[in-house]
Amino acid sequence: MTSEKLFEESGLKQITVWARGVYENKEARDVVVALTEAAAQEGKYVQAWENYVDLPDRIYVPVRAYGKISDQEIESRYVYENETPDIVALTEETLVKGVDILAGIKPETVLVVNTKRPAEYLYKFLKKGTENLAKIVTVDANSLAKSIITLSGAEGATDASGIGKGIGAALAAAIVKATGIVRFESLLKVVENKNAAQKAFEKAVVVEVKTLVRAG
Amino acid sequence: MSVPVKEVPFAGTVPSPQKENEGMITGSWRTRRPILDCDKCTDCQICWISCPDSSINLSDDGLTFNLKYCKGCGICLEVCPVGAISLVPELDFED
């Protein structure tokens, strides 16, 4: 099996969430944990983990959290990184600039960004890999919830603050709205901040990339 | 790694970094960009001393920021006695 074929499992969906080290580390983890927990309750096969290669104990460093959801048993369970994501989410808007967030994306990939700005503006900063991008979803999660800054739950320890207590709940809801990867009712059962999830589900703006025109 | 006592510089001070590591470009960590108000700046250079990444350059025209490595931590803003430095959201700039 070559590395290109590793993820050729039908029905496997890969979620990659980018965040900033320390102060949004928990939020990135919450997005994938909430989505995979909801999917597991629907009887799907799931995995969720964080990338420790990114050295997440440095403030502001771009860090990643990964999730896998599949109808069948996941075979590539020891692969450490999501090499071909189906869903990319950003807990912070500046990550569109200077970070190769769209590396290896599959066709029809959905990008979800926590931002106040319109998708047209963010699209200007996406230089590489946009040919496979189908939708850009913007949601102002910071206005719906507050980022929970804690080291509780890091490195596999128990998360005392609760899954989806901060902006992670809102981002997960925006992902569900754009992709339908799990049922929204399942997600609501998992996250702590149900109010933020509900509002984000209503307010998230889904824009088709083919309707966006590259300026300049 | 041991260094002979004679080779240790006075007070342990070392020159600013002279080499660059292309695997460690920290400019992409920045969420807010420092902007200098040249009219307010008194050229006291406290920010230059305080910058942990040596990302402030002194030049004849005043201070400039090395945005390739600046992480936007905001220490320069905190130490500035006259409030000449402000942090602006990075996405307000297109470059």
Mutation for testing the B interface, residue in A94, A125, A140 having most B CBs under 10 Å: A94
Q: How far is CA A209 from CA A15, A109, A111, A133, A213, in A?
A: 19, 10, 10, 7, 8
Structure confidence at residue A19 (pLDDT): 95
For A20, the closest of B27, B31, B91 (CB atoms) is B31
Mean pLDDT score, A103-117: 94
Record: contact B90-A94, CB cut-off 8 A: yes
Contacts (Cβ under 8 Å, ≥6 apart) of A115: A90, A93, A122, A138, A139, A140, B91
Contacts (Cβ under 8 Å, ≥6 apart) of A80: A51, A53
Mutation for testing the A interface, residue in B28, B67, B87 having most A CBs under 10 Å: B28
Q: For B29-92, which CATH class? A: alpha beta
Q: From the CA of A59, how many Å to the nearest CA of chain B?
A: 8
Name the pTM for this structure: 0.89
Higher pLDDT among residues B92 and B24, named by residue: B92
Residue among A107, A196, A83, A216 at smallest CA distance from A145 = A196
Using a pLDDT cut of 70, give the percent of chain A over it: 95
Name every chain B residue with its beta carbon within 8 A of the beta carbon of A60: 29-31, 71-73
Please state, in angstroms and rounded to a whole number, the distance separating the CA atoms of residues B49 and A60.
Answer: 22
Q: From the CA of A73, how many Å to the nearest CA of chain B?
A: 37
- Reply yes or no on whether the pLDDT at A175 is more than 50: yes
* 8 A C-beta contact, residue A114 and residue A19: no
List, for residues A124-142, the tens digit of each pLDDT value.
999 888 999 999 999 999 9
List, for residues A144-162, the tens digit of each pLDDT value.
998 888 877 777 778 888 8
Mean pLDDT score, A50-59: 86
Instruction: Enumerate domains of chain A plus CATH numbers.
Output: 10-211 (3.40.920.10)
